[in-house]
Structures are given as C-alpha cells and as structure tokens.
Amino acid sequence: MLPANRAPSRRDRVYSRDEIEALIADGGHVIILDGRVLKIDAWMQYHPGGDKAIKHMVGRDATDEVNALHSPIAKIRMRNFIIGRIEGRWTNFTPPIQGGKFRTQAELDALKQQQQQDSGCDTDVSEAPSPIFEPADPDAALRRRRTDTTYSRTSSATSISSGEELDTAAAAAAAAEKKKNDEPKMTLLDARTQEELKQDSQHYPPLDPATQDEIVRKYRALNERIEAEGLYQCHYSSYMIELARYSLFFTLFLVFLRWGWYATSGLFLGCFWHQLVFTAHDAGHMGITHNFAADTVIGIIVADFLGGLSLGWWKRNHNVHHIVTNHAEHDPDIQHLPFFAISHRFFSSLRSTYYDRVLHYDAPARFLIRYQNYLYYPILCFGRFNLYRLSWEYLLGGQAPRKGPAWWHRWLELAGQVTFWYWFGYRTVYLSIPTAWARVVFVLVSHVVTAPVHVQITLSHFAMSTADLGARESFPQKMLRTTMDVDCPQWLDFFHGGLQFQAIHHLYPRLPRHNLRKAQRLVMEFCDDVDIPYGLYGFADGNRRVIGRLGDVARQAAILAACQRSMAESADLGLH
C-alpha cells in the first residue's frame, strides 16, 4: 500500500493524457476518480472483490462505478493511491484487458516529434478519444434517434477499439476506409453484429460527450435525492420477517425429515436455500449494515455455513458483472458455453477475460445451443451443483485474497464449507436418510426447488442488449441498456427477493432491497428525463423474451452450421 502521508505537492501534480497512457503502457493500473489520478498497482492483490473488476477500469473515469460499489470508508482509503490530478473532462481509454493498446513515453515522444515536423506546430497526440466500433452510419450514434417510446431489444454486438489516439479526421477516414474494404468480405456474423449495433443505437441517447455528461449529472443528482429520502437506510424490521420465513422453512425441513417424508423435506430445504440467496446478495453488496466486515460475516454465515456457496467467489464474479454487464467477452454471468449462448459472438470461440481461457464453440456446444430454448429450464434445475464447483475452485484455486483486509475471509469460508457439508452431506443425507434412492430423491428435490433463483438471475439480462457501444457510453446508460426489471405485485416481492428490480439495483447496488420498490418511481422519472428506455416486463413476458432470445440464437447457430456445411461441400471457403 502506498503511504498515506504522501506530499500534497505530488498529489496536486497535473497529469496529461499522454503521461497517463505511458503509465498504463508500462504496466501501471491507473484510474480516474473524481478528477484525481490513482495508481493502484499495490492494491490489486488485496482487493476483496478481485483484480478483474479493477482491470476493467484501467484508463477510465471510474467515479460512478466506485461510488456505486464501495462504501464511504473504502473511498477514503483510496486516497492513499492518489498520484495527481487531471484538468478538464476525461475521455476514457479502452482498458488493456478489453484489448486497448497503449504507447510508451518514448513512442509518444517520437510520434509527437513526427507530427511537429509534419505540421510545424505542437500537438498533443492524446487529446482525441479512442476510436470505438461504430454503426454502419458513423454519424448515426451522434444524432437523436428515438421516434417513439416503443423499442426492441438487440441481442449482441462487439467492439473493435484501441487505446491509441488518432485525431478525429484521421479516425473517421480510417473507419470509412475499413468499412469500404470490409464490405465485400463481410461474414454472416459480422453482418449480424452491424445490424444489431445499429438497432441498439437507434433506441438510446447518442454517445457524444454533452449528452453522456448530462446523463451522468442527472444520475448523480438522483443518488443525492435517494439519500435525502432515506432510502439507503436499512429497515431491520424487514429482516425480522425474512428471519421468520427462513426459520419456518428450516423447521418444516427438519420435521418432515424426522417423519420420513424425504421428498417433502427436500422441498422445504430448497425453499430455505432459495430465500437465503437474497440475503447473501444483500450482504455481498453491503446493503444490510453498510459495514464491510459486518456484512461480510453475515454473508458468509448465510452463503457458506447454511448454503454451501462461497460468498467470496460470488463477489469476485458479481463485481465484474456489475461493471461489464452483458459483454460477451468479459461478463462471466453470460458465459455459459456449452449450454447457453445469448449472442452469436460465442460462435467464434471468443476468449473470456474473466476465466482467462477460450470458450470453445465445439461439437457439444454446437449441438446444445441449437436446442437451448428447450433446455433452458431443465439445465437451470441443476444450476446449484455448478455453484458448488465454482465455490471450491475459488477457495482452493488461489483466487481468494491471501493478504490485506480480506485475508481472513477465505479461512472463515473454508470453515463454513466444512460445516455445511457436515450438517447437510453427512448428518442429513448420509445419516438421516436410510436408502440410496431416498437420498437421491431428497438431494434432487432440494436442488431443483432452487431453480427459480437461477431463472430470476438470468431473466433480467438474457433478453437484453449485449452490444458494446465503447468507452464513451456512461455507466448509467449502460446499466439501463443491459438490464431489465420484472413487474410483480408487492405481495410477491418475497418470492423475487429484490432481483425483480435489477435495473435499479445495477444503478445503485448498495441500496437495501426492501427500499427498491420505493426507488423505482424515482428511477422511472430519471429515465423519462434523460430519454433512456426503462425495461419493465411481467414475469411471464420476461420469460417469453428470454426463451425468444435463446431461440433466436439457436436459429442463428443452425443457419451458421448449414452455411458451413454448404461451403465445405462446395469447397467455397471464402466466407467461412
């Protein structure tokens, strides 16, 4: 950790864009926070939420992401890493983990010298924004495009971006030339990407700085209003009701287990686990006490000791999800090959930056994806078994922090895992149930009953956009573009556990879930004000949209397979 008593003069140093680019090119992890330049290399291995989330913020203004996901105390500690400040508006780089390219100081100096020789004037080579993947009409993203309030969701797109800064005219000329050169040899998947990105750009505000800055300003003002109305205050009486419900389900599980009604006992144990997930989610976001240590202990007790799932794994995964929501290459929450693909991007065997491996679109994937809309619910019935695997992989595979403020989390979680498998695996399944068949029935029923939570998690994202509009898109717009809410009567809130308000939750993750319904009205007003569509669908309609998306991608997979077979048979591999 950098010393807390760094000289004020050093912290007040103004960094140019070139200097920050050079720091990143040398391997530095530099972010912008409230106009300050932070170099956080020393913190990477200690970050309780893992290093991946930080890497996606390198070279970017991380103010909104940090404010959304961190407590005030954490933000105070971040001051230790301030090395200077910037002047004026910051234009984001594309982080290295996302493919951004950065030049060293020597390369920047050489380029600047060459430009001076060519133009006869001093030029800052890093003033212009990083080029991003543009729609077929490069100017379309800079115009107001909405014609009505009815909008269709797009399924996917990708970005081709770089940290290298070109002047605006050169960037436009290069994009036009690339488009011209690419058109004759555009593949089926490329055409689909262009089409979906164009559709997405037609229903959301343009990416020009003035528009995006105004969205951010109003988003931050809304946060102040939410605070003023006391919606960040957790009402613990709500958790007394939750505790009563948990106790009822656990008691019924024990009673029917004693009576030998094993399937019924498993049903109530599954209900118990289903409800517990919501409190673990609250604790993971510091939405209960707003104290990092206290909420972590609550979360580990609920997730590990009672549920057998690692809270630390969930935090590492979930923090990345909140930053790069619905991005095919980066968001682990939509990376489910060979079972599911919600974007044609997965057909190219893309590399996951989260798992650090290629997600192969191999023979099993090609078969399963073609039927994924039919397999969606059956596969989710077994989702909990996969979470066990991921939890142990996290705890034993070196992903958990070993030092820093979270060093003890891993040990407490391991104790929780041992406790869970003792009371559930040994005392309940092995000792209390007499026959192998009854054990199988008990385990399957208890786990299948938890399937609704997996539906609820995927429901808010699978039907939404997977387009990457680049580094110029603001945090609030991206969250609202990739997330939807589920409309339900208030008496059903206990069943959804706050996950029905995912759009609101993604904007303000630390907001206590029992206050999300009250915040919904304010967020809807904000969306109307900034002209961003607010995704709100009923539970049944939301499920239809998800199944429709899966079916659409399945049909794309079938068409692609047919095209590949036809080209292979005719030996025409030009578009393969």
End residue of a domain, out of 61, 76, 94: 94
Q: How do strand 536-538 and strand 485-487 relate by DSSP bridges?
A: parallel
| pLDDT recorded at residue 193 | 73
Q: Is residue 127 part of a domain?
A: no
Single out the residue in 31, 59, 94 at which a domain terminates: 94
Assigned domain for 265 exists: yes
Q: Is residue 185 part of a domain?
A: no
Taking only the tens place, the pLDDT of each residue in 440-487 is: 999 999 999 999 999 998 999 999 999 888 889 999 999 999 999 999
- Whether 420 is covered by a domain: the verdict is yes
How many Å apart are CA 423 and CA 159, to the nearest integer? 48
Asked if residue 257 is part of any domain, the answer here is yes
Q: How many domains does the chain contain in total?
A: 2
Residue 137 identity? D
Please determine, for residue 151, whether its predicted confidence score (pLDDT) is greater than 60: no
pLDDT of residue 200: 73
Residue 90 shares a structural domain with residue 213: no
Residue 573, both tokens: 């591999």
pLDDT tens-digit readout, 387-421: 999 999 999 998 888 888 889 999 999 999 999 99
CATH number, position 27 = 3.10.120.10
CA 454 to chain centre: 16
Based on the fold, state whether residues 333 and 460 are members of the same structural domain. yes
Whole-number pLDDT of residue 131 = 36
- What's the pLDDT at 280? 96
Top mean pLDDT of 68-82, 198-212, 360-374 is at 360-374
What mean pLDDT is predicted for residues 523-551?
95
Residues 89 and 212 in one domain: no
Cα–Cα nearest to 308, from 230, 251, 193, 388:
388
**Alpha-carbon span 308 to 364, nearest angstrom:** 29
Of the candidates 211, 223, 221, 198, the one whose C-alpha atom is nearest the C-alpha of residue 530 is 211
The model carries a pTM of 0.84
- Tens-digit pLDDT profile for residues 243-289: 999 999 999 999 999 999 999 999 999 999 999 999 999 999 999 99
pLDDT score of 155 more than 50: no
pLDDT in tens, 88-123: 999 999 999 999 999 999 888 888 888 888 776 544
pLDDT of residue 149: 37
How large is the average pLDDT for residues 207-220?
95
Domain of residue 221, residue span: 207-539
**Quick one: what percent of the chain has pLDDT higher than 90?**
71
Does 229 have pLDDT greater than 60? yes
Q: Are residues 211 and 90 part of one domain?
A: no
Asked whether residue 321 is assigned to any structural domain, the reply reads: yes
Instruction: Examine the pLDDT at 152 and tell me if it is beyond 50.
Output: no
> pLDDT tens digits for 342-396?
999 999 999 999 999 999 999 999 999 999 999 999 999 999 999 999 999 999 9
| pLDDT tens by residue, 518-529 | 999 999 999 999
Phi, psi for residue 537 in degrees, rounded to 5: -135, 150
430 in a structural domain: yes
Are the beta carbons of 80 and 34 closer than 8 angstroms?
no
- With beta carbons less than 8 A apart as the criterion, state whether 246 and 240 touch: no
8 Å CB contact between 86 and 32: yes
Last residue of a domain, one of 39, 66, 94: 94
For range 328-354, the mean pLDDT: 94
Same domain, 84 and 212: no
Q: Are the beta carbons of 328 and 345 closer than 8 angstroms?
A: yes
Indicate whether 188 pLDDT > 90: no
Residue 573 is predicted with a pLDDT of 52
In a domain, 72, yes or no: yes
